[in-house]
A and B are shown apart, each in its own frame.
Chain A
Amino acid sequence: MAKSAKEIVQSERFRDLMRKRWSVSIILTTLLFIIYYGYILLCGYGKEFLGMKVGVYTNYGIILGVLVIVLSWALTGIYVIWANNVYDKEVDAIKKELIK
């Protein structure tokens, strides 16, 4: 027999899924904030460091600027990998167990 929305939502398995989903979201969002605002604050207060040369002409500023974009992209990728491999499977399992 199909369970009511309330029963499913209050089941331990569903609550666990929600907890996991928001933990992953909050951790990744926090990392994103640290990466981006760390960079912005460096642009304001770490001008000397960013101006230091890595190569003959290239400096840390240019490298870090590109790195902010690459890392933001990578965080998005991490989320997708997690969602495809963990979240989707758990969702399918819950749907099978509780709804059908």
Chain B
Amino acid sequence: METTLGQVNASSVLFFLVFICITLGITYWAAKRTKTTKEYYAAGRSITGFQNGMALAGDYMSAASFLGIAGMVSLRGYDGMIYATGWLVGWPALMFLIAEPLRNLGKYTFADVVAYRLNQKPIRIAAAVGGILVLLTYAIGQMVGAGNLIKLMFGLPYEVAVLIVGVVMLAYVLFGGMVATTWVQIIKAGLLLGGVTVLMLIGMSHFNFNPGELYGAIQTQYSVSMLNPGGLVTSPLDAISLGLALMLGLLGLPHILMRFYTVPDAKAARKSVMWATTFIGYFYCIIPIVGFTAAALVGQNIIKKIDAGGNMAAPLLAEFVGGTPFMGFIAAVAFATILAVVAGLTLAAASAMSHDLFLNVFRSGKATEAEQVKVAKISTIIFGVTAILLGILFKGQNVAYMVGLTFAIACSGNFPAILLSIIWKKITTQGAVWAIVIGSVSATVFIILSPTVWVEVLKNKEAIFPLRNPAIFSMSLAFLAAIVISLMAPDKEAEAKFEDEQLRTFLGVGAE
């Protein structure tokens, strides 16, 4: 099969330009509705549960999961599917444990929740730094991915691709704030779900819409081992640790948590998670089919020839079943996917810098609306430019570990502090701060010493830390630190405020 992938083709450029025009048009419309902090960070709390569910799905389904899992299934078969299930199971946990309390207790950031009863400044600093660390590692992975993917798909130079993503994303966030970002996420989620559905349906039409026939083709073309679990789960401790990071890491991702403040109340927050789980669950059910179909129709040799990691399996399948125009569409969807995710990250980072650090730390909660919005916009530029520069700096680096690092820090650094501040009366300022610090630092250090970085990136012979996924240890350390430190020096003042907090957590009394 000859492919036009990697050349600038008219259809992909056209689809992409249409997407850019529509989204920039929305940004222009949104800019008029983005004057106050409530509008900039939380879209005026005017987003409905359904819309927010769609936007959450748009925030969460990254190019890594779209192209990456399809590629993994196409080359490694069943093991890719195990990965896909892991990406969904965080959503029910988010619903059961923190979604509604988070909405009731907070205003714009998850730090609002942790700082509710505690000493504002130290908590805000720790939570902002922990949050920004998560967002930055996530952004590096996305930016490097963007550069590489766009180079493969459109033939653009790496730096140009990173720059386009950075500049367009900045335009959304800077002028349109949360309103524009939300609609970009919604459109992207719609395009991604629609595009993948069409891809799957046309692919399956080659197998009379019978999954059995598809698996038969895989088994005859390759071997039955493609349909069986292989080497992904070898060490149970590692597998459990990865599962924990994927599941509970979601509960510590600032850009996801921030979305709960865009809806009017806890009931709408609940609805958002239900819709998000529906869309994301559907997505991860059909992505493996896309991967298998690509393996059967396009063939592993061609997929590997274009990209050794298999990332181009889905666009190649699109070209095979729908010709260059359809491939152009899927490529444009992948581009839009990256843009939307990076926009969400940048807005969350801006809120951490301006709402947590500027307003609540430097100004002790006293600043005018105009000042806050101005600082939020400056923060947006700072984070956006940093992401672009880091994207270029990390060119050619193996950043596969970045996603793992992001989820490990999120579940070890942010999640324990959030959960304990909601459910545990005795948590103290010191306890929460040290949970964030110890969780984030230990997750980072363990990953650097693990086989993924110490051996594969730094080329040492043997890893110092045996697990690829440290979450089980780093998260336990964070919980332990929070509990021991809180019990050593009780804070009666914080305990006394717990009743007010519970009233708000459960009844929504006084929620903003």
Contact for A57 among B215, B233, B239, B281, CB less than 8 A:
B215
Contact B234 A39 (CB under 8 A): no
Q: Indicate if the CB atoms of B506 and A58 lie closer than 8 Å.
A: no
| A86 proximal to B (CB < 8 A) | no
Residues of A near B96 (CB, < 8 A) are 24-25, 28-29, 32, 79
Q: Is B506 in contact with A44, judged by CB distance below 8 angstroms? A: no
How far apart sit A47 and B239, CA to CA, in the bound complex (Å)? 15
A39–B85 Cα gap in the complex (Å)? Answer: 10
A62 touches B227 (CB 8 A): yes
Do the beta carbons of B234 and A44 come within 8 Å of each other? yes
Q: Are A47 and B503 in contact (CB under 8 A)?
A: no
- Interface size class on chain B is 35 or more
Contact assessment for B92 and A76 in the assembled complex, using a CB-CB cutoff below 8 Å = yes
Q: How far is the CA of A91 from the CA of B212 in the complex (A)?
A: 49
- Asked whether, in the complex, the Cβ of A59 is within 8 Å of the Cβ of B92, the reply is no
Bound complex: CA of A50 vs CA of B285, how far in Å?
Answer: 18
- Determine if B227 and A57 form an interchain contact, defined as CB atoms under 8 angstroms apart: yes
B285 lies within 8 A of A57 (CB):
no
Q: Say yes or no: is B97 at the interface (Cβ < 8 Å to chain A).
A: yes
Q: Given A32-B92, A79-B95 in contact, is the A43-B507 Cβ separation under 8 Å?
A: no
A25-B96 Cα distance, complex, nearest whole Å: 5
CB-CB under 8 A from B277, the residues of chain A are 72-73, 76
* A residues 69-83 in Cβ contact with B at 8 Å: 69-70, 72-73, 75-77, 79-80, 83
What are the residues of chain B within 8 A of A76 when measuring CB–CB? 91-92, 95, 273-274, 277
A14, A17, A69, A99: which contacts B285 (Cβ < 8 A)?
Answer: A69
Q: Could you tell me the distance in whole angstroms from the C-beta of A57 to the nearest C-beta in chain B?
A: 4
- Least CB distance, A67 to chain B, in whole angstroms: 9
State which residues 266-311 of B face A: CB under 8 Å: 267, 270-271, 273-274, 277-278, 281, 284-285, 288
Tell me if A37 and B243 are in contact (CB < 8 A). yes
Distance between Cα atoms of A72 and B91 in the complex (Å): 8
- Determine whether the beta carbon of B502 is less than 8 Å from that of A40: no
**B239–chain A nearest beta-carbon distance, Å:** 5
Residues of B within 8 A of A79 (CB): 92, 95-96
- Cβ A62 vs Cβ B89 within 8 A: no
Are A29 and B93 closer than 8 Å at their CB atoms? yes
Docked complex Cα distance between A28 and B93 (Å):
8
Interface residues in B91-144 (C-beta closer than 8 Å to A): 91-93, 95-97, 100
Cα distance, A42 to B239, chains bound together (Å): 11
Tell me which residues across on chain B come within 8 A of A5, comparing CB atoms.
499-500, 503
On whether the beta carbons of B273 and A8 are closer than 8 Å, the reply is no
Shortest CB distance B247–A (Å): 7
For residue B20, give the distance in angstroms from its CB to the closest CB of chain A: 33
Q: Tell me whether A25 and B239 are in contact in the complex, defined as CB-CB below 8 angstroms, given that A32-B92, A43-B232, A66-B285 are known contacts.
A: no
Q: Are B219 and A57 in contact (CB under 8 A)?
A: yes
Contacting pair B216 A36 (CB below 8 A): no
> 27 A–B contact pairs at CB < 8 A?
A5-B499, A5-B500, A8-B499, A25-B97, A29-B93, A29-B96, A36-B243, A36-B247, A37-B243, A39-B82, A40-B236, A42-B229, A43-B82, A47-B229, A50-B228, A51-B228, A57-B219, A57-B227, A61-B78, A62-B81, A69-B88, A72-B89, A72-B281, A77-B274, A83-B270, A95-B509, A99-B509
The 10 A-B pairs of least Cβ separation, nearest first, read A57-B215, A44-B233, A51-B228, A9-B499, A57-B216, A43-B229, A25-B96, A43-B233, A73-B281, A76-B92
